[in-house]
Amino acid sequence: MDKLPVLFVSCDARSLEAQRQAGSGPARMIWGQSVRSVLLLSTDTSLQAPEVTHLKGDHERSERVFSLLSSRGFTPDFQDETCEGRENFLRALLSEEPEDLCELRLNTGMSEGEYRLVGQCLETIREQGVLVICLDDKRESQVSLHDRHLREMISGWVQDQQWGAAISFKGGQSGNRHNRKLEDPTVCLLNAAFTLGGCKFPQRMFSSGMNNAGQMLSGFGWMR
């Protein structure tokens, strides 16, 4: 089975849910592909540890995510929750609802390396027909992914990866530059998405106006 994309979506989720409109950038990226299972990644500043939330369908996927994180040294919480809001959001975002849905909510305050490790933990999920959506949920006035800041940040990460690989190949020490604690929810989430996308620059970018200039949806897509 081919990998489904990893999508990083910055939007006001409640505003998008209320629009009841589909055909967004993410929907166009998966046209022609069957999406039965979705894993949402989000951030929650009130959490002290990652939290796996089962929302819909069989528990197997949620339990798998919990197991993958636990095997790499994380101590996630697990809970069941109703998902009406998330279903409405996905219907607006993707034009369809998955049969299977779980959400991994990440706490802030971990290191850059730990957020990237989360992405590494979940790489196998993509090979199992799961669409991974990293939801950067912001109020309308904060959605600003169309500016250059995050694109330049990702470009810097790609260059760091290439430099680290070159130093390692030559037998040198690349050093550990990933211990800085991160508090910005967007940067935390983007680090996990970057690793899930193979530590490459995203192949797609999108920015879509909804009903007016204040209701925006924008993001990145790692297609390979």
Tokens of 50: 């990652």
The letter for the amino acid at 51 is E
Report CA 185 to chain centroid distance, whole Å.
Answer: 11
- Residue carrying the six token digits 């894993």: 39
DSSP states along 72-107 = TT---EEEE---HHHHHHHHHHHSS--SEEEEEEEP
CATH topology of domain 6-222: Protocatechuate 4,5-dioxygenase; Chain B (3.40.830)
Ordered by start, the domain boundaries in the chain are 6-222
pLDDT tens by residue, 97-155: 788 999 999 999 999 999 999 999 999 998 888 999 999 998 755 545 456 788 899 99
Q: In 127-148, which positions are buried (b, 16+ CB within 10 angstroms) versus exposed (e)?
A: eebbbbbbbbbbebeebebeee
Using an 8 Å Cβ cutoff, are 75 and 49 in contact? Answer: yes
With 50 as the cut, is the pLDDT of residue 171 above it? no
Using an 8 Å Cβ cutoff, are 117 and 63 in contact? Answer: no
Model pTM? Answer: 0.86
**Region 188-209 average pLDDT:** 90
